[in-house]
Amino acid sequence: ALKQYNRLLDESDSPLSLLLQFMMPFDGKAFVEMPWYEMAYEILKVPIVIFLKLTIPIVDQDLPNEGWIRPVVTLQMFCFPLLLTGFTLVQDGIPAFIYTPRVLMMIWGVTLMVSVTAATLVWTMSIGDKAPSFWQWMGFVGFVAALMTIYATAKEIVNVILAFGVVFEVGSLILGVTILAVGIGMQDLVTCVGVARAGMAAMAASACIGCSMMNIFVGLGLSGILGPILVESPYHLYISVQLLCCLCFMLLSILLAILSMATFNWHAGRFFGATLVGLYVLFIIVSVLIDVFGADVDGSGMLEDASQGRRRR
């Protein structure tokens, strides 16, 4: 990114040329020298990279001019209201009359006017390659755009996983502890391994624990706060055998981790790692067996046969 910004700022091209160069999803010279599988990966990333560059302004003090490129930011401010409107329209709970053609035309017409106004203001209130005084505040715009993109992506991932469960008749909880959990935890795993390899083992260990604590405490806490408001009051949490299994294995993993590290003078050796990995494999096996062969009772006392791929309440 730093080389790309330096190259763009060093060249005195027209705004359109700068914009097209910035929107290039990969370096052409490096692309032709890549292996075929890396080429395929770069091609698959093209729509995502272009979308992110169109919608998320990046304010970074390590970049030349703090990342300010006048035609690029102008285009991003034109696209941001369109992204905000599209994100709002796909949310649940929108009244049906909003989706009538006349109302949609009015909404998108107003959004287009706001986009043009925002882009015009950015262009007229800035001069050349010098970052304006309001540029640092644009970081909040990029933050909001990134949050909307992450939320929409996570929502679609959940929808795809639920569709997978319906097609193959797999319970939602088993999908959560396998596919969804691996998808969410893989990023944390790669990050923590990288931190540990950099020599900061304490930071990696605390990050592993902190991520889990945030997911449990903040996730369940927000569910308890927003559930009675958005779903029903009082908000009922359905307890199942699989959920109790998750809780038991979580407590068992904490106990084994403490005992193992205490036994080996608080050093995380191979036995310690193998114990935790084996415990996770056992947890997955037990969860799958309960879902396939077991019977479950939800919070209302309704008995359901898990082997029939039922959908839990």
Q: What is the pLDDT of residue 233?
A: 75
* Side-chain half-sphere exposure of 262, counting CA atoms within 13 A: 6
CA distance 204 to 196: 5
Per-residue pLDDT of the chain (313 residues), as tens digits, is 555 555 555 545 677 777 777 777 777 677 778 888 888 888 888 888 888 888 888 887 777 777 788 888 899 999 999 989 988 888 877 888 888 989 999 999 999 999 999 999 998 888 877 788 888 888 888 898 888 888 888 788 878 888 888 887 777 777 877 777 877 777 778 888 888 888 887 888 788 888 878 878 888 788 778 878 777 777 776 777 777 888 888 888 888 877 877 777 777 778 778 888 888 888 888 888 887 776 544 433 333 343 344 444 3
Q: Work out the number of other CB atoms within 10 angstroms of the CB of residue 200.
A: 14
Q: What is the pLDDT of residue 298?
A: 44
Q: To 5 degrees, how large is the angle CA 239–CA 243–CA 249?
A: 145
- C-beta separation of 76 from 55 below 8 A: yes
CA distance 259 to 275: 11
Buried b (16+ CB within 10 A) or exposed e, 40-64: eebeeeeeeeeeebbbbbbbeeebb
Distance of CA 269 to the CA centre of its chain: 32
DSSP state of 91: S
Question: Long-range contacts of range 159-167, CB-CB < 8 Å, 24 or more positions apart?
Answer: 166/311
Tokens of 10: 């060093």
The full 3-state SS of 215-245, as one line of letters, equals HHHHHHHHHHHHHHHHCCCCCCCCCCHHHHH
- Calculate the alpha carbon distances from 313 to 34, 91, 297 in Å: 49, 22, 10
CA distance 184 to 134: 35
CA distance 88 to 82: 10
Task: Using alpha carbons, select from 67, 47, 48 the residue that is nearest to residue 57.
Answer: 67
Q: What is the pLDDT of residue 5?
A: 54
Q: What is the pLDDT of residue 310?
A: 41
The total number of residues written for the chain in this structure: 313
Tokens of 126: 């800035």
Q: What is the pLDDT of residue 307?
A: 37
Cis amide prior to 234 (ω within 30 degrees): yes
